[in-house]
Structure 1
Amino acid sequence: TARLIYESIEEQFNFSCFLANIREVSAKNGIVHIQRELLSHLSVRSNYFHNLYDGVKIIANSLHNKKVLLVLDDISERSQLENLAGKQEWFGPGSRIIITTRDKHLLMTHGVHQTCELEGLVQEEALHLFCLKAFKQDQPKSKYQNLCNEVVEYTR
């Protein structure tokens, strides 16, 4: 859903960036890596830094007067928010920061003004999506039907 919103409005901004799977990328490569990715997507050349503090300064200084669309997908820790989209003043007028997370409390502690909670897929839609990803077909073979239903129910 965040990707669809991003794609439908990105043309309205001077700079746009979709940072996917931050939980996973941060655990694997660290937040400095994500800061560099953000600056690279936004055509900021000052991405030669080695610590979070320098990354924060460069992000804030580079974007403070620009209209930016930034999507932070799957935020799992407050430090990720603080080091990627620390304060409103980092971004110019008209900027939009879209954050997806499993932890609504993170948004509240960061001072996010507006939230939208999405519901999960219904069983039938979830099974269809699972089958497309797992088997590259709309439905499971009949011998796997029960197992697939159990997997989908467990993950919902």
Structure 2
Amino acid sequence: MSIREGRAPNSSSPESLMVVNLSTYRIEGEFDAGGCGTVLVGSHARSKQPVVMKMASKEVDRLLLATERRIYARLTKARGWPRLIDAGTYRKRDVLVLERLGPSLQDLLNLCGGRFGLKTVSQLVWYDHLRRYDQHSLLKIGVKVLLQNAPRAVI
């Protein structure tokens, strides 16, 4: 791991962010930049795992990236969210190192010439349906209990 000193990355205070050794990562280029900082694309030097490094600008409040780090730490088992690999500071700037996800749906659409086949569209609809079903699992349990307890004339 690239952490040299400090406390555990799942600690909640912004002061507990550790020092990140960016020489552990090979920076391939800048992905995006904005008011909150810069997003760099790279890979781990030894494992070659693709990563994204989010570096906050000096003007950004330290609590902002610390809060984002805690959210990513809680989403470790959630599908579709990048895994938090490393967190810390580099030259007095807060840094998050995240797993790089695959291409976006728009990238895939552009790769296919702007048209998806019937099979691809049906799979996307099915995945969207499953995602919505999973998000509303508490709602479906409540509706199921309501339907079981409702009089037959109402149903």
What TM-score does the superposition give when structure 1 sets the normalisation length? 0.21
Higher gyration radius (CA): 2
Higher strand share: 2
* Greater relative CO, 1 or 2 (CA 8 Å, sep 6+): 1
What TM-score does the superposition give when structure 2 sets the normalisation length? 0.21
Higher helix share: 1
